[in-house]
C-alpha cells in the first residue's frame, strides 16, 4: 500500500518542481525497498510470483531515479512518457497483487476440497 501511495504522490500534478520530485522520488525508493525487504522476509511459495514482484519493485526504484534526474534537468513536469511508465508500473503492481491474492485463494480452496475428499 505504501508503494502505491508513494507512486501516486509522485504523479500529483499540483506540486510539481525539483523539490517535489526529489522528496517524492525518495519516498518511492524507500517504499520500493521496504516492499522488497518485506518480500524477502515473507517469501512466496511460488517463485514466478516472487520474481514478478521483485521486477515491479525494481521498476519503481528505477523510475524514482529517473524522476530525480528529470527534475534536475527541466523545471516543471517531467516527460509524459515518464508519468505513463509510472502509471503502468502502478497498474502492474495492482494486477500482480490481485493475481497473487486470487492464486492464494484458489490454492486454499483446492486444499480444502482435497481435505474433504480424504
The predicted model scores a pTM of 0.72
Query: What pLDDT does 9 receive?
Result: 84
Identify the sign of the CA torsion 58, 48, 103, 115.
negative
Query: What pLDDT does 108 receive?
Result: 58
Residue that has been written with the C-alpha cell 508513494 in this structure: 6
Number of domains in the chain: 1
Full domain range(s) for residue 101: 2-117
Locate 6 and state its grid cell: 508513494
pLDDT per residue as tens digits for the range 22-58: 788 888 888 888 888 888 888 777 777 788 888 998 9
Distance CA 47, CA 107 (A): 15
pLDDT per residue as tens digits for the range 3-29: 888 888 888 766 666 777 778 888 888
Amino acid at each position: 500500500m505504501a508503494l502505491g501511495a508513494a507512486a501516486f504522490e509522485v504523479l500529483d500534478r499540483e506540486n510539481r518542481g525539483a523539490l517535489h520530485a526529489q522528496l517524492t522520488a525518495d519516498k518511492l525508493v524507500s517504499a520500493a525497498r521496504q516492499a522488497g525487504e518485506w518480500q524477502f522476509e515473507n517469501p512466496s511459495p511460488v517463485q514466478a510470483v516472487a520474481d514478478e514482484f521483485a521486477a515491479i519493485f525494481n521498476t519503481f526504484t528505477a523510475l524514482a531515479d529517473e524522476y530525480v534526474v528529470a527534475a534536475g534537468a527541466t523545471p516543471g513536469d517531467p516527460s509524459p512518457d515518464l508519468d505513463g511508465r509510472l502509471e503502468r508500473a502502478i497498474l502492474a503492481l495492482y494486477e500482480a497483487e490481485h493475481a497473487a491474492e486470487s492464486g492464494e485463494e484458489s490454492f486454499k480452496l483446492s486444499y480444502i476440497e482435497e481435505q474433504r475428499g480424504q
